[in-house]
Structures are given as C-alpha cells and as structure tokens.
Amino acid sequence: LIKTLLYEGKAKKVYAIEGHENNGKVFIEFKNSLTAFNALKKGEFEGKGEINRDIATFIFKFLESKKVKTHWVKDIGSNSMVTHQLQIIPLEVVVRNTLAGSTAKKFGRNEGSELVRPLVEFYYKNDALEDPLVTEDQADILGFCDLETMSYLKTQALKINALLVGLFQKAKLHLVDFKVEFGKNSNNEVLLADEISPDCCRLWDLETKEKMDKDRFRRDLGHVKEVYVEVLNRLKKLKEEINE
Ligand code: TMP
Ligand code: ASP
C-alpha cells in the first residue's frame, strides 16, 4: 500500500492511498499518544493505537449493523483502518446522559447528576480557540454547518447514544457522555467520522462507578492502559451483538 501523509492529528494520522480501488478512501493510523485540555497535557502508552482501533472498529461495526452510516471500510494491520474520505464538519457533537466534566463545572452541578433527557451540545472544533461551545445560529451564520445538517447531526447523535447506552450496559458500563464528529462524502451524504473510544467517551463501571476512560489520564488517576484494555475486553465478550 503506497501512502502519503495528508494530516496528522493528536491521536491519528491520515494518509492518502494509491490505487483505483482506493478512490475516495483514506488510511487512518491510530497513534499511541494521548492528549487532554486541547493538547496542553500530553502522554502516551504502548499499545494504545491498537486498543483504540479495535474499540472504534467494534463500535463502527455495531452501529453499521443498526443502519448508522459510518466512514469505516476495513481494518488494516494492528492499528489502522481504511475509511471513506470525508469533508469533516468542524463541529464536535457532545451527548450527555449524566452531567460530568465541563458542563457540570460550568453550571456548578455535581458530577453524576442525572439529566431528564440526553443533552446535545455543539462545539466549534478549533484547539487554538479551545473548542468553544457554539449555538446553532452561530454555526449556521459563521458557515461551520447549516441548520438542516445540524438538525440531522442531532438526530443521529441521539440515535447513536441510544444504541451505545444499550451496548455499554451489556458490558456493565454506564455511558456518561461522548463526543462524535461527522463528515460529508462526495455525494454530500453525512457519515459518522473520527472514532468512538475511551478517548472521547466517559464510561463508568456500573457497579463500582470507577472511571474507565480518558479522565484517568486527565485527572492523573493511574491505570490508564488497564482500563482501556478492560473496555476492549468487555466489548469483545459481546461479539454476538454486532450481528444481532
Ligand atoms: P467535556 O465534559 O470536557 O465537555 O467533555 C464531554 C465529552 O466529550 C467527554 O466524553 C470527552 C469528550 N471530549 C472529546 O472527545 N474531545 C474534546 O475535545 C472534549 C472537550 C471532550
Ligand atoms: N481531546 C482534547 C485534547 O486532546 C480535549 C480532551 O479530550 O480533554 O486535548
């Protein structure tokens, strides 16, 4: 596979790949690095790229089986995948089931407060600006994403949430919140992009309430790799769910 680096992000590298069968596709390599607070805090651990690739693939396959369109095409090697090439919409779509992190802090609520229904928030994807919260009118008028597409993103994000809450529950994990990104293909279809992994979700053990996600790194709680491995192992035990 002949590939040329197109873009290097904080946790992934994206390459163009040659060959007509690869038209409209890219190669994504998951790195071992880990960042927090818009890359102010940096770390890494051995095997992270492989673990997150496997978790992301598991989730993409599960969502595809539930008719959610994703950019995933196939896995390659131990830490990479081929995906459809998309024009990424510069919004981070966050869904919260339980209040934690930035929104709990912002409104002075306790982490772990239940919400009457899932909360969807849009953030403008821009590290230099620290990913500011953006209203739908701001996003539309400033040209990040039109209103009709945002309405679709919200519907999709809530559908993904309902599916993943159920999936993780079977793995004895509570999906507190997560962030997803979407992109448009050349036919202007909107597909789920990026990845879903413990980097971009909050997952609490259903019984012990232990944090099983990147908060262990953000908050220096230790055992970062161990919990990522544990999340993957619990999902692997649910293999049959994918083709349910
Ligand atoms: P927050 O509480 O810090 O706003 O994060 C909400 C969720 O979104 C949490 O699961 C972590 C995830 N997230 C990302 O994946 N990338 C980001 O840049 C941010 C700010 C949050
Ligand atoms: N993903 C962002 C970063 O890498 C923020 C975070 O997850 O805390 O800096």
Closest ligand 2 atom to the C-alpha of 10?
4
Q: At residue 239, what are phi and psi to the nearest 5 degrees?
A: -40, -45
For residue range 72-114, list pLDDT tens digits in order: 999 999 999 999 999 999 999 999 999 999 999 999 999 999 9
Q: pLDDT category, 1, cuts 50, 70, 90?
A: confident
> pLDDT grade, residue 218 (50/70/90)?
very high
Ligand 1 centre distance from Cα of residue 23 (Å): 32
DSSP assignment of 202-244 equals EEEETTT--B-STHHHHTT-S-HHHHHHHHHHHHHTTGGGGG-
- Has residue 240 got a pLDDT over 80? no
Best residue among 12, 32, 37, 202 to mutate for probing ligand 2, ranked by most atoms within 8 Å of CB: 37
CA proximity to 97, closest of 115, 123, 122, 121: 115
pLDDT at 244 over 80: no
Task: Compute the distance between CA of residue 97 and CA of residue 112 in angstroms, rounded to an integer.
Answer: 9
Q: Which atom of ligand 2 is nearest to the CA of 40?
A: 9
Question: Which two structure tokens, joined as six digits, stand for 110?
Answer: 């306790």
Probe ligand 1: pick from 10, 37, 94, 110, max atoms within 8 Å of CB?
A: 94
Which two three-digit tokens encode residue 81?
A: 């995948």
**Can you tell me which atom of ligand 2 is nearest the CA of 41?**
9
pLDDT at position 239 is 84
Q: What confidence score (pLDDT) does residue 243 get? A: 59
Residue range 26-58, pLDDT digits in tens: 999 999 999 999 899 999 999 999 999 999 999
* CA 73 to centroid of ligand 1, rounded, Å: 26
Question: Would you say the CB of residue 131 lies under 6 angstroms from ligand 1?
Answer: yes
Which secondary structure element, helix H or strand E, spans residue 147, and what is its range? Answer: helix 147-170
* C-alpha dihedral (169, 170, 171, 177), degrees to nearest 10: -20
In this prediction, what percent of the chain has a pLDDT beyond 90? 95
CA of 156 to the centre of ligand 1 (A): 18
* pLDDT (average), residues 214-223: 98
Q: Is 193 in the pocket of ligand 1 (CB under 6 A)?
A: no
CA of 105 to the centre of ligand 2 (A): 16
C-alpha 51 – ligand 2 centre gap (Å): 18
Which residue carries 């945002």 as its tokens?
Answer: 150
* CA distances to 19, 27, 109, 214, 223 from 36, in Å: 36, 24, 22, 8, 16
pLDDT digits (tens, 9 = 90+) for 113-150: 999 999 999 999 998 999 999 999 999 999 999 999 99
Burial of residue 139 (CB within 10 Å: 0-12, 13-18, 19+) is: buried
What is the C-alpha separation between 232 and 244, in angstroms, rounded?
19
> What's the whole-number mean pLDDT along residues 174-191?
97
Determine if ligand 1 sits within 6 Å of the CB of residue 177: yes
Mean per-residue pLDDT of the chain: 96
> What pLDDT shows up at residue 110?
96
User: DSSP character for 71?
Assistant: S
**Single-letter amino acid code for the residue at 37:** F
Q: Residue 52: phi, psi to the nearest 5? A: -70, -35
Task: Give the predicted TM-score (pTM) of the model.
Answer: 0.97
pLDDT value of position 48:
98
Q: What is the pLDDT of residue 18?
A: 94
